[in-house]
Structure 1
Amino acid sequence: MESYATALLYATPFFIGLVLVEILYGRFVKNQKHNVMDTVSSLSSGLTNVVKDSLGLVLILVSYPFLLEHLALLEIKSTWLVWVVAFIALDFAGYWNHRLSHHINFFWNQHVIHHSSEEFNLACALRQPISNLLGYYALLLIPAAVLGVPEKVIAILAPIHLFAQFWYHTQHIGKMGWLEYVIVTPSQHRVHHAINKEYIDKNLGQIFCVWDRMFGTFQEELDEVPPQYGVLKPAETWNPIIINFQHLWRLMQDAWRTRNYLDKMRIWFMPTGWRPKDVKIKYPVKIIENVYNFKKYQPETSTVFKGYALFQLIMTTMLMLFMFYNYSEIGFDGLLLFGAYIFVGIYGYTTLMDRKSYAVWIEVIRGVAGLALIYLTSDWFGLDGFLPLGSYWVAVYFLITIFGGIYFTFFEKSLISPDLVS
């Protein structure tokens, strides 16, 4: 996990930098595809994902090394060939995992966060799950295991394959000619993120679009059908932690409420969105009927509050990067505590962004707890060894968090204002 944390130490600023480039480009061409609160929510979601993954918080049902040991029938000798085969195998597995996530109720919960933004931009690419707590992905790599693809090759290519899916989350690139027949392009992925009936559950490929064409899930972007983004059951929150478990909570509620015992069991494995008839009637859930005429989630916010949300995002990102930088020195128990602070912090300020009255208590408690930890340890996880008086600056951040929570809950008049990036 330490090597993964090191990779994230460099990858995180790189991806955030590209998001900033897209924002600046949108401003330059007067075609902005970002708004502050949505982008803060998206980037915050990315932070929760990388912290969770860096800590290895997943229950592995079956590992790739186990499959390789027991299923390998061949051993590919050629160096270049093994990398090609491995990449194709990863992409094939990615297609079916993606398809599973779209078509089965239980698995949709781990993917809904990625579709929850009602915008489409590079930031929403970073809306990645923390609810994927069961490690079953290796089962989809059985073809690679049978062919004897080494574990090391999979381990190296997997993050590359994931990172290569970032660039096509944009509206600033049109169709790309002959490449539309080879790879997943921005045009194809706009279709995938759209909630138009013509586009739902289409274009599930990750790098190569050949799988969609082979298995009947390909759909070209149509000029007469402009993509509308989000999910049909809108999240209506900026809090990525809540979004990660919204669908699961609905499934649990429906399974509990239905009187049909068969429905209690099968709801988890039915097509995404399926609900028992009795609870569907008695407990209706808001669904977007007209995708061209619905109100996007946008609680009233002032320019000052948007600036404060950006401040919280920046500080949380900096703290997380220090966690990755000092990963080996902090120790696992310390990393769990550090990770918990980051999670609670993101939960707190995104709940404040939702204008929830109870957010102030989260902010005050996490601020006081942070100050208490600094007081008791005379440091912030070893920060003073790298940055003189670093823990004092973190203490100032926690003080700002306390007063910010109080101010934006009780004193600020929330006025609608032009978006900072539009």
Structure 2
Amino acid sequence: MNYVLYAVPFFFLLIGLELLADRWRGRRSYRTADALSSLSAGVLSTTCGLLTKGVGLLTYSLAWQHLAWVEFRADDLWVWLFAFVFYDFCYYWNHRLGHERNVLWAAHSVHHQSEEYNLSTALRQTSTGFIFGWIFYLPMALAGVPPVVFLGVGAMNLLYQFWVHTRHIPKLGAFEWVFISPSNHRVHHAQNPVYMDRNYGGVFILWDRLFGTFQEELDEEPVIFGVTTPLASWNPLWANLQFYVQLWRDAWRTESWRDKLRIWFMRTGWRPADVAARYPQEKPDLARFVKFEVPLPRAQKWYAGLQFAAYVVAGTWLLGIGAGVSEVALCLACAWMAFGLYAIGALLENRPWALGVELARLAMHWPAFWLASALGLLPMGALGWAGLALYTLASLAALWGLPRREAALAT
């Protein structure tokens, strides 16, 4: 069962409730572009995950079939309870190393780039974590946990983590001695020096207390969210590539062949000495920290938000049918999704070439939908083509009106 698919409506319902709580309490934990950026990263991650999840599942299944020390039964309750705890233990080390090694941080950093902290941040996920993430769960396969149990407890672990991404829930007393809570997970998303690289557990905070990585949220130290090398972009593609590009540039620039190789696996932030001297990196002064923002007229935000809603529907559709779709069709769907989210990101950043990219996106729908229909990915009858025509005309009309509204705001 795809637990995440069934959870999608509840995710957006809870995000809506959090927005109402913001208004009721006079807070502002959401910004339109930031939330759309986080959600775009999440949609891209789930879509690409349909294509890449086989990497982890295949290696896990092979290890379980050929290397398991014992054989557990999937219909025993104690096996599920054992696996639930075991999974979180493996997650702790996956998460911790994801902060402590350059190449692993390149994947995981996507989740931390938002300078806000709300339920949309929970859905901000990487599209490249599959490259190394599977390694950390192989001990479960060797211990004999069946793949169906592994997938089930993994989904439950992920779903649990959603609710802790909020600023509206205070400290929870004794609960926080055992479980991850919003308070101790806010610490995890901070860039304050006292909070950095702490509280790695997914469900249980016990691992952090046991291995010395626990840090309580302090009243005298308000949390500043984000990363020390700001993304400064609303584009989900660049969010996934930023740190890889930085590592590649440093590896290319260094004159040491040893450093070209080891930079990928050194502690996060390590750079070759010759590169650091020639290309120093400045870290933002938290005392004068300013969140990344691009001024936009309200109409442009609404346009981007409505266009993004169409990709949420498409992504949910793909989650529902993904198991029965060919790899070729999934590759095309991922490319279509990536380009569309890239175009929306360009609009949110108000790039001078964003209009051209947006027009290309609207034009691309026609051959893309024809191909999707031919591959059996999307049934397109006369009603479907009429709906696409209406959507395209409405989008073009809205685009034509945006410059006029922007000019009106400027005056």
Alignment TM-score, normalising by the size of structure 1 = 0.89
1:169 to partner: Cα distance: 0.4
1:352 to partner: Cα distance: 1.5
Report if the CA contact (8 A) 1:68-1:145 is conserved: yes
- Whole-angstrom CA distance in 2 between matches of 1:330 and 1:104: 35
Code of the aligned partner of 2:117: F
1:52 to partner: Cα distance: 0.8
1:176 to partner: Cα distance: 0.4
- Whole-angstrom CA distance in 2 between matches of 1:358 and 1:309: 15
What is the number of equivalent residue pairs in this alignment? 408
Q: Is 2:345 aligned against 1:350?
A: yes
Code of the aligned partner of 2:406: E
Gaps of 5+ in 2: none
1:277 to partner: Cα distance: 1.9
1:376 to partner: Cα distance: 7.8
- Equivalence for 2:336: 341
The DSSP-based 3-state class of the residue aligned with 2:228 is coil
- Equivalence for 1:120: 117
- Equivalence for 2:406: 412
Q: Is 2:305 aligned against 1:310?
A: yes
Report if the CA contact (8 A) 1:131-1:245 is conserved: no
1:208 to partner: Cα distance: 0.4
1:285 to partner: Cα distance: 3.1
Q: 1:261 aligns with which of 251, 257, 266?
A: 257
- Whole-angstrom CA distance in 2 between matches of 1:242 and 1:377: 26
Report if the CA contact (8 A) 1:205-1:212 is conserved: yes
1:345 to partner: Cα distance: 0.5
- Whole-angstrom CA distance in 1 between matches of 2:373 and 2:141: 50
- Equivalence for 2:33: 37
- Equivalence for 2:181: 185
Structure with bigger helix share is 2
1:400 to partner: Cα distance: 4.7
- Equivalence for 2:126: 129
Aligned-pair RMSD on alpha carbons?
A: 2.7
In 2 relative to 1, CA 327–151 (structure 1 residues): closer, same or farther, beyond 3 Å? closer
Q: Is 2:273 aligned against 1:277?
A: yes
Q: 1:156 aligns with which of 152, 158, 179?
A: 152
- Equivalence for 2:366: 371
Code of the aligned partner of 1:222: L
Gaps of 5+ in 1: 417-422
- Whole-angstrom CA distance in 2 between matches of 1:40 and 1:133: 23
Greater shift in the superposed pair: 255-264 or 336-345 = 336-345
The DSSP-based 3-state class of the residue aligned with 1:238 is coil
Q: 1:195 aligns with which of 185, 191, 195?
A: 191
Q: 2:143 aligns with which of 147, 150, 168?
A: 147
- Equivalence for 2:80: 83
Identity of aligned residues (%): 37
- Whole-angstrom CA distance in 2 between matches of 1:130 and 1:76: 32
Pairs within 5 Å for 1:286-301: 286-288=282-284, 290-301=285-296
In 2 relative to 1, CA 76–118 (structure 1 residues): closer, same or farther, beyond 3 Å? same
- Equivalence for 1:319: 314
Q: 1:52 aligns with which of 38, 48, 53?
A: 48
- Equivalence for 2:388: 394
Report if the CA contact (8 A) 1:364-1:405 is conserved: no
